[in-house]
Copies of this chain bind each other. A is one copy, B any other.
Amino acid sequence: MKTYLDCIPCFYRQALDAARIAGADEIIQKKIIDELSQLIPNFSLETAPPEMGRAIYSLVGKISGVKDPFKEIKGNSNKFALKLYPELKKEISNSEDRLLAAVKLSIIGNIIDYGAKNSLNVAEEIDSLFQGNFTINNESSSTTFKYNQFKESLNKVNNIIYLADNAGEVVFDRLLIEELVEDLGKEVIYVVKGKPIINDALIEDALFCGINKVAKITSSGSDAPGTLLKYCSPEFIRLYQNAELIISKGQGNYEALSEEDKSIFFLFRAKCPVIAEDVGCDVGDMVLVGR
């Protein structure tokens, strides 16, 4: 996906948020904003948004001196989501269509803001999302929740590359991967980012959330908030090129890979008007698109 002009105000928003999470004072925050301003005129709208995301978080790291500002948030998200695991597993077991339930939960895991809420609220939010938000989208005719096509594609393959998004969300990914592996007999390789970028999952997050019990874990080598192939390791590129089917989580991976000529299914919530327009859905929709 290309960068839209409407992404630019959001880049500034993200820079400020990250600077504050890094503990930067107002002078450092302004310095980050000023350096971002110097990048904008040379930034081509033809590049995908995670390219600028990468530049922003590199600026924040360089100027604030904090290389992994989201480390604590990621740790808390993992712990919090792991506590939910038994309940979520039960939800899947009680479902008529286990795979559909796991797919839904995997997308729901993409939207929970673990930081700001207590566990009761989050459990309620998950429940409400699980019951409600898919009702209009999980029709087989929906163009932005292609569950039937996803199932058909799964039937044709044995090996799946699963691109992770955020820490915490990893637990929800594990639930889907368990269905793919234990119920459907697939082999899954779980791919995390290569270096700290926002709250994206790293190898330590995948291990903490127990992905290793059910799938191989590897890194893409990328330090962009989305799997931009130009920043990935040669090992990952080989894996990617040979992949039969890719499950891609989160908006960043959609932005990075939506124009790739591969069999990729993108699972995420459309969090902003720009991506909703690109996908052809409403803001807030749970999205399962691809082929």
Contact = CB atoms under 8 A, between A and B. Distances in A.
A29 B16 CA distance: 23
A5 interface: yes
Contacts of A45: 26, 30
Contacts of A33: 5, 8, 40
A92 to B, nearest CB: 39
A34 to B, nearest CB: 4
A24 B245 CA distance: 42
Contacts of A26: 5, 45
A216 interface: no
Given A37-B41, A40-B37, A45-B30, A16 B10 contact: no
A12 interface: yes
A41 B16 CA distance: 15
B10 A9 contact: yes
Contacts of A37: 37-38, 40-41
A5 B34 contact: no
B6 A9 contact: no
A27 to B, nearest CB: 10
Contacts of A8: 12, 16, 33
Contacts of A41: 34, 37-38
A67 to B, nearest CB: 22
A108 to B, nearest CB: 27
Nearest to A19: B5
Interface in A1-24: 5-6, 8-10, 12-13, 16
A9 B16 CA distance: 9
A158 to B, nearest CB: 44
A169 to B, nearest CB: 26
Given A30-B45, A38-B37, A45-B30, A16 B12 contact: no
Interface of A: 5-6, 8-10, 12-13, 16, 26, 29-30, 33-34, 37-38, 40-41, 45
Given A26-B45, A37-B37, 17 more contacts: A5-B16, A5-B26, A5-B29, A5-B33, A6-B16, A8-B33, A9-B9, A9-B10, A9-B12, A12-B12, A30-B45, A33-B40, A34-B40, A37-B38, A37-B40, A37-B41, A38-B41
11 contacts: A5-B16, A5-B26, A8-B12, A8-B16, A9-B10, A9-B12, A9-B13, A26-B45, A34-B41, A37-B38, A37-B40
